[in-house]
Every structure is written in structure tokens, then in C-alpha cells.
Amino acid sequence: MRRMVVLTLALSIAAAVAGCGGQQATPSPAVTRLTVGLGYIASVQFAPFYRAQEQGYYRDAGLEVTFQNEIDPNLITLIGQGAIDIGMADGTSVIPAAGQGIPILYAATIYAQFPSVVMATM
């Protein structure tokens, strides 16, 4: 009887190992896809977003980030509909949206003044 139990256990282990290709399965980390809405045109005000993408900060955090450029009213509507996960828009666009019942949350002010910059090669 003991021999039968050992043999059954050995065959079960062998079948499990064969089914795994002889290697332990390592779970891959889940990637969270995130669509970030930015203003109508690519601008210096979005530099932190582009820099984080370039440096791999999103990837390192387990995020796959896609940028979508839209005008503010469209961003607000798309966020409210869940078509865009998060966005950067003018705070004054949130006020009429809230009045229209669009489910949106104003989370933070990033700039007190527009970050205008002039660059040139030397």
C-alpha cells in the first residue's frame, strides 16, 4: 500500500513537472494601461509627462501610458465618459462640466503660471 502511494505521488509530480516544461512558472507583473489626456497641442507644459515616458518611469511603475491630445472641453467629456483615465486641462473647464453633471474630479493644480520657455542651440 505504501509503495502504491509513493508511486502515485511520484507520477503526479512527474506529470506536473512535465506540464510545466520542467521549469517553474514565474508570473509576469501586470501592466496597467493608462490613457492620459493632454491639451490640444504638444507643449512645454506637458514636459514632465514626456520626460517620465522617455526615462521609463511609467514602465518601471508597471504602467503602459498613452497620451491623447484634445481641446479642454473634449478632455473633460472623455474623462467623464471613462474614455480617458486622467487628464490635464484648465481648471476653468471643470466648473461648467460639474454644472452639466459630468462626473469629474479636480485633483490638483500643477502650475500657478504657464511655464513659457525659449530654447536655442549654442
Return the domain boundaries, the chain.
Answer: 32-99
The answer to whether the pTM exceeds 0.95 is no
The tens digit of pLDDT for each residue in 58-71 reads 999 999 999 999 99
DSSP per-residue codes, the chain: -HHHHHHHHHHHHHHHHHHTTTS---PPPPPEEEEEEE-SS--GGGHHHHHHHHHTHHHHTTEEEEEEE--HHHHHHHHHHTSSSEE---GGGHHHHHHTT----------SS---------
pLDDT digits (tens, 9 = 90+) for 5-52: 333 333 333 333 334 444 555 555 789 999 999 988 888 888 889 999
